[in-house]
A and B are shown apart, each in its own frame.
Chain A
Amino acid sequence: MEQEKVIQIRDLKVYYKQYRKNIFGKKRRHQVLKGVSIDVFEGEILGLAGESGCGKSTLAKAIVGMNKDIEGEINLKYSDTQMVFQDPYSSLNPSKKIGWLLEEPLRVDKERKWTPKERKEKVLEIMKAIGLPKEMLERYPSQLSGGQRQRVSIGVALMRSPKVIIADEPVSALDVTIQAQILQLLQQLNRDLGITILFISHDLRVIYQICNHVAIMKHGEIKEYGIPYEVYRNPQNDYTKELLTAAGIK
């Protein structure tokens, strides 16, 4: 069956501007992504792997429109794409309560107006989905553990029922046992709600566990793409081999 593409990227180049601090200095343009093409299919979990500075987060930000200086094509099937970030301590506003944070996406929704009652109902529904008791709505992020915060971050992303979520290293800052729980939650959302997930990680083991496809990135390029089982068993690219060896997989 030919699956539908929810994200289609063709020859994407992203640049970062670097201002020199001195006013005499000139602007430089630094190419971070050097022509990336990739497809994300409806209902899958695509793993994006690579080491720090390889451009995987840049790709994510380009998809949601946070990078402006880009060339190439990004076609999105759904306009509302949400993100979950790595650090659950910085992705939740410390001065707001959990309930407020969850309601905020509905308050600023441009598609429709939500009445306070509708908002409350939606919040309760999401709290159930992410497995947190509703007493926590009255707490501040600082009163939650790392794993609970990451659940809230996922909840915030889910509020407007998006079809696509980009998760940027969502478990890297967590303890291993908590990691497993969050991965389970993501898999469950993918299975039960049919949400397509672009899963960014440096951990090839985690990617193997939950992803349908994997793309290996280095220096702003995709080095290898395929089904994890096949890529891991028979890596074509030297860098992929190096990563697998380093992770103790091969």
Chain B
Amino acid sequence: MGNVILDVADLHIEFHDHDKPETVVEDFDLMLEEGEIVGIVGESGSGKSMSALAIAGLLKRHALTKKGRIMFNGTDLLTCSRKELRSYQGDEISMIFQEPMTSLNPVKKIGWQVEESLRIHHKDIDKKERKRRAIEMLTAVGMHDPEKLYEKYPHELSGGMRQRVMIAAAMIGEPRILIADEPTTALDVTIQAQIVELLRKMNREKGTAIIFISHDLSLIRQICKRVIVMQSGNIVETGYVEDIFRHPKMSYTRKLIAAIPQIDLS
């Protein structure tokens, strides 16, 4: 067994946006080992995105209570100071999102956005070095002509390219954990395959552990070793993807698998 870098236990999230509290995540557990890719699968409202946002420390828009613990580096991210949380965000823990069209700031240049984590967390790195690394990163995510791209704005790029930029920006600080929240859902299938391949490459080369969230079980099967199946805020089943495909224990998992059209070409 590898080194556990993230240990989430008994995570509860309750929203208080209305008079009646609403539980969106209950008893969520997750052990992430160094360099592995774990999938979280579920339908809308299953709480998969909420759990991910909680781990990334991004649940501040709602009035809510969180219980449990999210241990990273000996620190509980749920209870630590905002300052300490910020010191990990973008540096040790990065996140990419579903909508590459809106996740980038429309009025800032690509280069500025890609190197932002460096600017925040590594003030010792000078401007020239930052740019060098940003261009290196843009090349690594498969962009042509990164020098030119550095000066461009998000609207000049296609959806797939924007998601590559998002990945470059997330990976520039060489984080230990990358949380990918439905990173390919808004993209065409061929682009989707390229992005999945890119994530695999990042995982292989930089050793970054990835939490891959998707509604698509067949996609999870392509990229993850372990998977957590969620339904309405609860974990239904967890284990190795192949085991779950072969011997699903819970009826909901069976239903999810049955919903994937089977193709038998033999």
Chain A interface (Cβ < 8 Å from any Cβ of B): 51-52, 175-180, 202-206, 208-209, 229, 232-233, 242-243, 245-250
Interface segment out of the listed B17-25, B137-145, B185-193: B185-193
* A229-B44 Cα distance, complex, nearest whole Å: 32
CB-based contact A177/B188 at 8 Å: no
Are the C-beta atoms of B256 and A208 separated by less than 8 Å?
A: no
Whether A176 and B263, one on each chain, are in contact in the complex, defined by CB atoms closer than 8 angstroms, is: no
Pair B218/A205 contact, Cβ less than 8 Å: yes
Contacts of B44 in A (CB 8 A): 175
| Distance (whole angstroms) from the CB of A169 to the closest CB of chain B | 13
Question: With A180-B259, A205-B260 given, is the CB distance from A175 to B43 under 8 Å?
Answer: yes
Interface footprint category on B:
20 to 34
Within 8 A of A (CB), among B187-225: 188-190, 192-193, 215-219, 221-222
Contact between B193 and A246 (Cβ–Cβ < 8 Å)? yes
Nearest-neighbor residue (CB-CB) of B265 within chain A? A233
- Measured CB to CB, the closest approach of chain B to A178, in angstroms, equals 8
Q: List B residues at the A interface (Cβ < 8 Å).
A: 43-44, 188-190, 192-193, 215-219, 221-222, 255-256, 258-263, 265
Q: A176 contacts B256, CB within 8 Å?
A: yes
Are A205 and B261 in contact (CB-based, < 8 A)? yes
**B residues near A247, Cβ cutoff 8 Å:** 189, 193
Inter-chain CA distance A164–B219, complex, in Å, is 33
- Least CB distance from A87 to B in Å reads 14
B265 proximity list for chain A (CB < 8 A): 229, 232-233, 249-250
Complex Cα gap A206–B261 (Å): 6
Contact (Cβ within 8 A) B261 A209: yes
Residues B261 and A51 in contact, CB atoms below 8 Å apart = no
Bound state CA distance, A203 and B217, in angstroms? 14
Across the A-B interface, the 10 shortest Cβ-Cβ residue pairs? A209-B261, A246-B193, A175-B43, A51-B188, A205-B261, A176-B259, A180-B259, A246-B189, A246-B190, A233-B265
Q: Are A208 and B263 in contact (CB under 8 A)?
A: yes
Q: List, in ascending order, chain A residues with CB within 8 A of B255's CB.
A: 177
Residues on B with C-beta less than 8 A from A250 are 265
Asked whether, in the complex, the Cβ of B263 is within 8 Å of the Cβ of A205, the reply is yes
Expressed in whole angstroms, the Cα–Cα distance for A161 and B106 within the complex equals: 47
Give A245 to B219 CA distance when docked, in angstroms. 12
User: B residues within 8 A CB of A243?
Assistant: 189-190
Contact indicator A177/B193 (Cβ below 8 Å) = no
Bound form: Cα–Cα A212–B265 in Å: 15
Residues in A neighbouring B216, C-beta threshold 8 A: 176
A208 touching B189, Cβ below 8 Å? no
A51-B263 in contact given A175-B215, A176-B256 (Cβ < 8 Å): no
Bound CA span A177–B255, Å: 7
**Pairwise interchain contact A202-B218, C-beta atoms closer than 8 A:** no
A52: chain B residues within 8 A (beta carbon): 188
Q: Are A248 and B219 in contact (CB under 8 A)?
A: yes
B190 & A176 in contact (Cβ 8 Å cutoff): no
| A177-B190 contact in complex given A205-B218, A229-B265, A248-B218, C-beta closer than 8 Å | no
Residue of B nearest to A242 (CB): B190
CB-CB under 8 A from B217, the residues of chain A are 176
Q: Give CA–CA (A52, B219) in the complex, Å.
A: 19
Task: Offer 13 A-B interface pairs, CB within 8 angstroms, sorted by A.
Answer: A51-B188, A51-B189, A52-B188, A175-B43, A176-B43, A178-B43, A202-B189, A205-B218, A205-B260, A232-B265, A246-B189, A246-B190, A247-B189
**Chain A minimum-CB-distance residue to B188:** A51
Asked if B258 and A180 make an inter-chain contact with CB atoms under 8 angstroms apart, the answer reads yes
Decide if B189 touches A179 in the complex (CB within 8 Å).
Answer: no
Tell me the nearest residue of chain B to A181, going by C-beta.
B259
Given contacts A51-B189, A243-B190, A247-B189, contact A177 B256 (CB under 8 A): yes
Q: Which of B192, B260, B262 contacts A246 (CB 8 A)?
A: B192
In the complex, how many angstroms separate the beta carbon of B101 from the nearest chain A beta carbon? 12
Q: Which B residue sits closest to A178, measured CB to CB?
A: B43
Compute how far the CA of A50 lies from the CA of B265 in the bound complex, rounded to whole angstroms. 21
A192 and B114 alpha carbons, distance in the complex (Å): 56
Q: Nearest residue in A to B197 (C-beta to C-beta)?
A: A246
- Contact, CB under 8 Å: A249 / B263: yes
**What are the residues of chain A within 8 A of B263 when measuring CB–CB?**
205, 208, 232, 249
Rounded to whole angstroms, the CA-CA distance of A246 and B222 in the bound complex is: 10
CA distance in complex: A75, B221 (Å): 44
B193's partner among A178, A205, A233, A245 (CB-CB below 8 A) is A245
- Bound state CA distance, A106 and B69, in angstroms? 59
How far, in whole Å, are A204 and B44 apart by their CA atoms in the complex?
A: 22
